[in-house]
Copies of this chain bind each other. A is one copy, B any other.
Amino acid sequence: MEPFRGRIGIIGSGALGCFYGARLSRAGFDVHFLMRRDFDAVRENGLKVFSFEGDFVIRPPVFASALSLGLCDLVIVGFKTTDNHVLPDLLGPSCNLHTVVLTLQNGLGNEEAVALALAAKSDARPPSETAKQVMGGTAFLCSTRTEPGVVCHTDHGFIRLAEFSGGPRERTRAIAEMFRCAGIDCAVRESVAAIRWEKLVWNIPFNGLGVAAGRADTAAILSDPDLRGTVEELMLEVIAGARADGAEIDPGLAADLMKKTETMGAYRSSMQIDYECGRPVEVEAILGEPLRRARCAGVATPRLQMLYGIVRRLDYLNRLDKE
């Protein structure tokens, strides 16, 4: 299988977008970055990656607006889901009928948001059509943007990919091969729902309680018997919701994830970090949308409902405090 070749646009150049974009760029792919906060730093000093797999610097083409980024064959969306309202503005100038858009964001509802954003363009095809341009991926990556133009990559990096509409096709495998050529482990899966829900089995309890239980990293949560018990039960709720929503997930995943989390030390989830930094948290993508889908599928998820209610309010107060 030949890797995907074409003009690649990275929109949302935080730690995730910068890391994958830089690895692809270093491997010779034609990567262009749309940047806001990091624009000046990267144009002046390049994009620096400090990684346990080897440090490097690249000097990629970087753009300050979607208009100047221009048309791409593949757009990779890496920003926080709390910014999804800007998708129409960013995808408008960079996409045509043939552009593939891959969202590597967290949670549920992002493929839908991309398809709707593409449908909002002037050529006005319905979302059922634009959905065919959309792919979803889950990224298992420990990376942090430490300062403008600098990313620190401390662990993992593998990606799972799936088409939003229908099963894998040639382009799916070509894009997976592209990531592999950049040294990134990448697997193609049948169902985007399955990979999204699979990641949520961990993300819902540890992101949610990381905020609700106050400065609670994984070690703090696991060391409290009632929080730990709540995590285990939340995982089973999420798996039940996933299965009812059509995502086949092995119930044994919960026990596996508990074991893996034991070895992670005191890990702070992205939602906890966002919350503590006073930033909006991804409450809808990670908690709200899964709750709504489980509910639609007729599955009771009492702990998820409570967690969503608490975190949504804490997020609201957090924003209020910043004003």
Copies in the complex: 2
Q: Quick one: which of B225, B226, B310 contacts A227, CB cutoff 8 A?
A: B310
Decide: A309 and B214 in contact? CB cutoff 8 A: no
Decide: A226 and B302 in contact? CB cutoff 8 A: no
Decide: B305 and A302 in contact? CB cutoff 8 A: no
Find chain B residues with CB under 8 A from A305 CB. 226, 229-230
- Nearest chain B CB to A271 CB, angstrom units: 15
Q: Is A224 an interface residue (CB 8 A)?
A: yes
A289-319 vs B, CB cutoff 8 Å, 1 = contact: the mask equals 0010000000000110111111011100100
| 7 further interface pairs, Cβ-Cβ under 8 Å (given A224-B309, A227-B310, A306-B307) | A214-B317, A220-B313, A226-B291, A226-B305, A227-B313, A229-B309, A230-B302
Q: Is A242 an interface residue (CB 8 A)?
A: no
Decide: B215 and A317 in contact? CB cutoff 8 A: yes
A220–B227 alpha-carbon span in the complex (Å):
25
Q: Is A216 an interface residue (CB 8 A)?
A: yes
Q: Is A233 an interface residue (CB 8 A)?
A: yes
- Nearest chain B CB to A212 CB, angstrom units: 5
A164-208 vs B, CB cutoff 8 Å, 1 = contact: the mask equals 000000000000000000000000000000000000000000000
Find chain B residues with CB under 8 A from A113 CB. none
Decide: A306 and B306 in contact? CB cutoff 8 A: yes
Q: Is A120 an interface residue (CB 8 A)?
A: no
Chain B: CB-nearest residue to A291 = B226
Q: Is A18 an interface residue (CB 8 A)?
A: no
Q: Quick one: which of B214, B216, B225, B233 contacts A302, CB cutoff 8 A?
A: B233
Decide: B303 and A224 in contact? CB cutoff 8 A: no
Which of A226, A230, A302 is most buried by chain B, counting CB atoms within 10 A of its CB? A226
